[in-house]
Structure 1
Amino acid sequence: MMCTLRALFLKWKLPVASAWSDVTRSVQAKATFATGPRQHDTTLYEFRTYSIKPSMMNKFMQLTKENFHLRTAHSEMVGYWTYELGGLNKVFHIWKYDSFAHRSAVRSKLAQDKLWQENYISKASPMIDNQENEIAYLVPWCKLQKPEKEGVYEMVSFQFKPGGPAVWGESFQAAISTHVNTGYTKLVGVFNVEYGLLNQVHVLWWNENPDTRAAGRHWAHEDPRVVAAVRESARSLDSQRNLLLIPAPFSPLK
């Protein structure tokens, strides 16, 4: 490509250095339209949500508790929760994979695991009405945190206007950092969706109980630092959804 351009410059009798400088500036200008930083960490997280038949919820959770060690023998589970508020008769779990190749290998092994298929999948499948999954990455400025004690979790899902982190990333990071710095709640992780609804970010928070969460939220609504940061981030926001999640007894995140 460089040789072809050089030949054209010579044919048109253009100064090569000057013309190439113009091309470089053009490429640099286009780079300002990038939608976000390059993803260097290949670690990915799969979010899975299952809707359970209402009459089967207790039976499903008991079956899962008794047999989920068969599943975690194949790959790392970050956490497993039931919906408390924001939905009913649903379970939500997060799985960690080193890469897409790692996920594919795990899925292949699960399909061949007779104990998993016979003891769990064949019995659990009739209890499930619907399944959804997403693939997400931790944002570059966040590390996954593990709370020191048991509590409840809140997942807040933000749907931003199209354009990627280049458009809303800086103000959103500022809003999250302000919430963290005030100490009204504790951050577990911030996940940018790769497969699912694009321009969506899931933020997982920890609170000691629903009442401490409610108190912290009321304080945040009156804190000028939080109000200013949220107001700026909201300029790029289309919608927001909040879920209150209760960790299962076998969940690594309690």
Structure 2
Amino acid sequence: MLALQSSLRRMLAPRALVHPVCPSFATDHRQREGTFYEFCTYYLKPSNVEEFLYNFKKNVHLRTAHSELVGYWSVGFGGRINTVFHIWKYDSYAQRAAVYKALAKDNDWQERFLIPNLPFIDKQESEITYLVPWCKLGTPPKEGVYELATFLMKPGGPALWGDAFERAVNAHANQGYVKLIGVFHSEYGLLNRVHVLWWVEDADRRAAGRHQAHEDPKVVSAVRESVNYLDTQQNMFLIPWSFSPLK
């Protein structure tokens, strides 16, 4: 009887739950490499857009003295107008913290741009992203315009949807009407979000190429597989400013 009670106690006792590491949520070399990209979106007051951008153009050298600007655009359509979108590159979180600490002490930056232009900003958003493992930052062949396609994917990260998403992106890139600049996966901000930044010569070239791509069986097949992991998508047309490294 005692042996039976002892056996029952062992069976009913709480056990430590051991969960295997799910590869779809595991980190990969993005974090270990350190380099990340901050996506900054400023929603400007309509009456002050031109003044804000003129002032930034005049003082951009004060800001880029502290960290690397990847690109700076106005939203043409596909999103809220009177919006500027810019990407900054950092090698580590420590570097970013040091940059913002230095900016707070940079009297020229504070007095010539930040303080007088803060009233022009209605709202700000910041998102930290990494390039996905299979993508490096590209460069455009010449000056043009850009499209930022933003996808909200099902939870799981690149280990879950990466292969299918890569095939869909490359299927479009192989059509030749656009140039892939980068594929970015959110780390801080709205999670499970992926941004694909494209360069294209002009909006009409993009429209014609997109129409042709959607009639290609390879593109259709790749996209059909990828959308199994997709919740929502938004595309924004971006116009680079003259001081933007990506033009």
TM-score by length of 1: 0.87
Q: Report the counterpart of residue 107 of structure 1 in structure 2.
A: 100
Q: Report the counterpart of residue 201 of structure 1 in structure 2.
A: 194
Deviations 1:10-40 (A, max 9, x none): xxxxxxxxxxxxxxxxx9x924544255133
Q: Report the counterpart of residue 16 of structure 1 in structure 2.
A: none
Segments of 5+ residues of structure 1 without an aligned counterpart are 1-26
| 1:185 Cα deviation after fit | 1.2
Q: Report the counterpart of residue 20 of structure 2 in structure 1.
A: 30
| 1:148 Cα deviation after fit | 2.1
Moved more, 167-176 or 106-115: 167-176
Q: Letter of the 2:215 partner, please give it.
A: E
2:53 matches 1:57: no
Moved more, 173-182 or 234-243: 173-182
2:79 matches 1:89: no
Segments of 5+ residues of structure 2 without an aligned counterpart are 1-17
Which whole-Å CA distance do the structure 2 matches of 1:36 and 1:92 have between them? Answer: 30
**Equivalent position to 1:180, from 173, 176, 190:** 173
Q: Letter of the 2:52 partner, please give it.
A: F
**Equivalent position to 2:59, from 61, 67, 91:** 67
The 5 Å alignment of 1:1-254 reads 30-31=20-21, 33-36=23-26, 38=28, 39=30, 40-86=32-78, 87-254=80-247
Q: Letter of the 1:209 partner, please give it.
A: D
After superposition, the Cα gap between the structure-2 partners of 1:238 and 1:166, relative to the gap in structure 1 and judged at 3 Å, is same
Q: Report the counterpart of residue 24 of structure 1 in structure 2.
A: none
Three-state SS of the structure 2 residue aligned to 1:30 is coil
* 8 Å CA contact 1:154, 1:242 repeated in 2: yes
Q: Letter of the 2:149 partner, please give it.
A: V
Three-state SS of the structure 1 residue aligned to 2:115 is helix
Which whole-Å CA distance do the structure 1 matches of 2:138 and 2:86 have between them? Answer: 16
Three-state SS of the structure 1 residue aligned to 2:111 is helix
* 8 Å CA contact 1:36, 1:165 repeated in 2: no
Which whole-Å CA distance do the structure 2 matches of 1:31 and 1:89 have between them? Answer: 44
* 8 Å CA contact 2:77, 2:238 repeated in 1: yes
Q: Letter of the 1:30 partner, please give it.
A: P
TM-score by length of 2: 0.89
